[in-house]
Amino acid sequence: MKDKQKGESALFSATILYGFFGIFSKLINFQLPIFYQAWVRNVFAFIVLGVVMILFKKWKPISLKDNVWFFFRSACGFVSFIGMYVAFTKLDIGTTYFLSYAASIVAGYVLGIFLFKEKITRYGILAFVLSLMGLILVYKVDINSATFRYIVLAVLSGLASPGWGAFSKKISSTYSNLELNFIDSLYAAVFPFVISLFIHEQWVPISFTKIWIYTFLFGLMFIVNGLLIVYGYSKVEAQTGTIILLFEIIVGIILGYVVFHQVPPLGGFIGGGIILGAILLRSFNKESAQ
């Protein structure tokens, strides 16, 4: 299997796994304070990845110039997660997903062009347009001035999301996948820890209960997802990676039906098909985006 195909397979696998984000979010909800659960989950990831990294001896000293990429990657991941999580509480799911995904497509293409000098091909433009058309058909959008701040959060979440994967391309050839995600989990723990202290969240003792089991399973999901995303983006263009990650929408539709018995409308099926077409077009075209 070629490197490009391996990268695409990794990203497809990440979207399938990330499709469980909504399920874990519903199971945990706000039974644990949002920033508290975030830093605890990332400390857990930091410990797990640290042990694995020591066993496989994957640590390499980080140069000063590369620290900026580690920081930007983790900051994007934190903004994306918090923005999406909070927006879900005040906006309907369809509006949140539409705004976030639409913004992520734009940001992914912009990063590809300016950060990695990728070209926009005719297939890339067509995939971009088809993706937006698919989003419009899949999600019902309800935007009003009363929820403006949450609309902004959903858009910020989408704008930041591609950065988490794309910025890893700047350093993935220098540092191991394990080290990239080890450092990411450290930053991802520090950010919410400071905010949690600042706003005086009530910290709940860790216990062997369902809510904590769900929280740590959520953490494991992010560990595996992070490894797949870094590997995938190291093998494909940033624009291609952004489009492939839209496969999560299709996974979400399927899981919503299987787990919560949510039957999507006809537009959801059509939109999902158009998005799948955009992914295939972007993945299998003969023109190079580099």
Tell which residue, 47, 28, 26, has the closest CA to residue 37. Answer: 28
Sequential DSSP letters for 40-89: HHHHHHHHHHHHHHHHHT---PPPGGGHHHHHHHHHHHHHHHHHHHHHHH
- The domains of the chain are located at 3-284
pLDDT band for position 290 (cuts 50, 70, 90): very low
Would the pLDDT of 157 be above 90?
yes
Distances (CA, A) of 254 to 54, 145, 202, 224, 238: 38, 32, 36, 21, 26
**pLDDT tens per residue, range 165-207:** 889 988 988 899 999 999 999 988 998 999 999 999 999 999 9
- Taking 80 as the threshold, does the pLDDT of residue 53 lie above it? yes
**pLDDT score, position 107:** 93
Residue with the two structure tokens 């910025």 = 167
Residue 121 is encoded by which pair of tokens? 């091909």
**Predicted TM-score (pTM) of this structure:** 0.82
- Which residues are CB-neighbours of 123 under 8 A, at least 6 positions away? 281, 282, 285, 287
Tally: H helices and E strands in the chain: 12, 0
pLDDT digits (tens, 9 = 90+) for 246-277: 888 788 777 767 776 766 677 777 888 898 88
pLDDT at 213: 93
289 pLDDT exceeds 50?
Answer: no
In this model, does residue 121 exceed pLDDT 70?
A: yes
